[in-house]
Chains A and B, each alone.
Chain A
Amino acid sequence: MKWTRRDVLKGLGGLPILGSIWWAGTANALVKSKDRSEILEQLKIQPSLPSALPEIGGSPIRLGIIGFGIRGEQLCRALGFATQDWLDEMKLEEETTGNTQLKEFLDQEKLNIQMTAVCDVFDVRAEHVIASFSTPEHTVKRFTTYQEMIQSGEVDAVIIATPDHWHAPMAIEALNNNVHAYVEKPMTHTIEETYQLRDAAENSEALLMVGHQHRQTLSFKTANDIVKKGVLGHVSIIQTFTNRNDDNGAWNYDIHEKANEQTIDWDLFLGSAPKIPFNKNHFFRWRKWWAYGSGLSGDLLTHDYDRLNCVLGMGIPTSVTASGGIYTHNDGRNVPDVLQVNMEFPDFSTGSSQPKGKEKGMAFTYSATLGNGFSRPTILMGHDGSMELGNNLTVWPDNGSTKYAAMIEEGKMKPNVPIYHYNPGANMPDAVSSATSQYFADKGLMWTYIDGVRVNSTYLHLREWLSCIRNGGTLSCGINEGFDEAISAHMTGLAYKLGRRIEWDQEQQLIVPIEGVNFDEVLLSST
């Protein structure tokens, strides 16, 4: 057969089209991949991998739980002890809503611990622990006071999940008796206690861990690497937020039907707090009063502050100002439900891409409301880039960046297109965020991801503490981190209550005194 020109045109006309598309696709993909390698090479970010902790071997660590309220129950679950009620509830939720918490709980590696003791002023809760966590071989023993439990010789370590005004006395008692302690945040209720607890921790053979579980979040470790490598340049401002709009978020927890003067040891609950008649509202919703809690500054700012202290290590602010009020829940509480905080770090720097000396100093802001749940993300803003910090990380280059000026000029980077996206829930870090990626970052307070599997970060935090007790090692949130957190929270509480700028003297290691003002009295006062 002889091919005419017409045959070739009509028969093989598709070939050049095919060739062109193939060429265009290849070229485009390669250019993109080259640009991306170039960006990644310049950034040099090392995505964090989980660190392997040694086994918690030997005989089981004997644990006592002090306070089995909402948080106490959560901590016990993280340790592998769930109540039957919770298991039943989760089973039902698994069937109806596909909630995976039960599966995650059951998949959690069992820790080498024995729950031996409980201390709770509310009979119902103490009995709940005994009924739920006793085994055929061992019955959980109830102690009336924390001193009796700590001195009994029946516990190696205690979990302190009480109102704030009990944190330090209990932790100090434990440390003085060489019993390891895990204390929830804020670490202390007053400034004086903060120093006392630091002394106790430094002089004790036992280990104190402060409950900032997000220290286990892998994305924060990667964020630390990103900042250290100067990807963001000089960070001049950090914005953090609390956005809540529900009863639970505003600390209006349920009041137990069996709560009365017979079932609750009211005097023991009050401790050093002002003596007032029995009040269920105060007992179950203690976070709303300065006498037992510390409001937004101690309860929630501490999380945001420590998240950043974990990423940047900026320490205690040189000064703090704060303002706010009770604007959303005028229900008898005396802690604010709206709070704006400015912390200054004039000597701190994350590094600079500009002439030496031009950039120095950073401000940290915290804005909180219990009357709106719109999710405002945590943002670190640097001269060269911005980073959104959560369980996922996203980094954008800045249009005015010195470091990326050439790449922005060449069109290899665009200010509105992320140059780095870390999503430990997916399998790999991606240089440029993909359009189909629909994972939303949260604060990294609940979960972290290990090999793409969701893991309870509180479990990891407790595990680290237990591993250090048995095998030695450094705690990620020990007394130094707790000291920074507590002092910063107390400075904020003072700034809010006094309406004044509160300063920190780094050399003297104390809050600069104000004549005629007793700081601890102010912190504990109801207004």
Chain B
Amino acid sequence: MTGTLQKESLTKSLVFLRILIGWHFLYEGVIKLFNPDWTAFGYLATAQGPFDWLFISLTNESIIGWVDTLNMITLIFVGITLILGMYEKLGALAGMVLLGMYYFAHPPFPWLEQLNVEGSYWFVNKNLIELAALWVLYQYPTGSYFGLGYLKHQKTNTAKTPQL
């Protein structure tokens, strides 16, 4: 009984975490969607660290438009899946890829100059922590407890229960 209760409160906290992260992603995506001048150009052009060449190559005139669109769509996709609790594993995975890229574009390595950061970081920054949180969400989907997955789940249960 205690185990079930513990499990239930863990599920609730994970749902809360899922909504918060979804919230963050969705808002970032929507803001970009409605700002026609937004571009990742500056962020990518000033990339540092071992993969700077990769990020700088993304600023190429012929692909920067695609990069911007793809980033925006992925942000919104991650936001929707996490908030609605559907395809959340896919959403968590996509979010981890995005955050991994953000992390490596401006990694908080002590030998690099930290530009435009609001705190002090040493290898670990908020991008990495959010990425780790998504890893947890990926392994412990809660859509069937709260979200569209719940309805699907219920429907499956209903179908399986023989009608009297």
Contact = CB atoms under 8 A, between A and B. Distances in A.
Given A14-B83, A17-B19, A25 B37 contact: no
A10 to B, nearest CB: 5
B143 to A, nearest CB: 9
Given A434-B42, A438-B42, A14 B154 contact: no
Interface stretch (B2-10, B25-33, B92-100, B125-133): B25-33
A14 B22 CA distance: 10
Interface string A173-186: 00000000000000
Given A32-B35, A436-B43, A11 B151 contact: yes
A87 interface: no
B148 interface: yes
Contacts of A1: 154-155, 158
Interface centre among A21, A28, A427, A430 (most CB of B within 10 A): A21
Interface in B1-51: 19, 22-23, 26-27, 29-31, 33-37, 39, 41-43, 46
Given A21-B79, A428-B37, A436-B116, A29 B150 contact: no
24 contacts: A3-B151, A7-B150, A11-B147, A11-B154, A12-B151, A13-B146, A14-B148, A21-B23, A21-B26, A21-B27, A24-B27, A25-B29, A28-B31, A29-B31, A29-B33, A29-B35, A30-B34, A32-B35, A33-B34, A428-B37, A430-B37, A435-B116, A436-B43, A437-B42
A438 B48 CA distance: 12
Contacts of A106: none
A357 to B, nearest CB: 41
Given A14-B19, A17-B83, 10 more contacts: A11-B148, A11-B150, A11-B154, A13-B146, A18-B26, A21-B23, A21-B27, A25-B33, A29-B33, A33-B35
B141 interface: no
B94 to A, nearest CB: 17
A276 interface: no
B148 A7 contact: no
Nearest to A427: B41
Interface residues of A, number: 31
Interface in A426-452: 426-428, 430, 434-439
Contacts of B22: 14
A403 to B, nearest CB: 25
A215 B41 CA distance: 29
Given A11-B147, A14-B84, A14-B146, A26 B19 contact: no
A12 B148 contact: yes
A197 to B, nearest CB: 45
A13 to B, nearest CB: 6
A12 B31 CA distance: 24
Contacts of B35: 29, 32-33
Interface centre among A18, A24, A32, A437 (most CB of B within 10 A): A18
B85 interface: yes
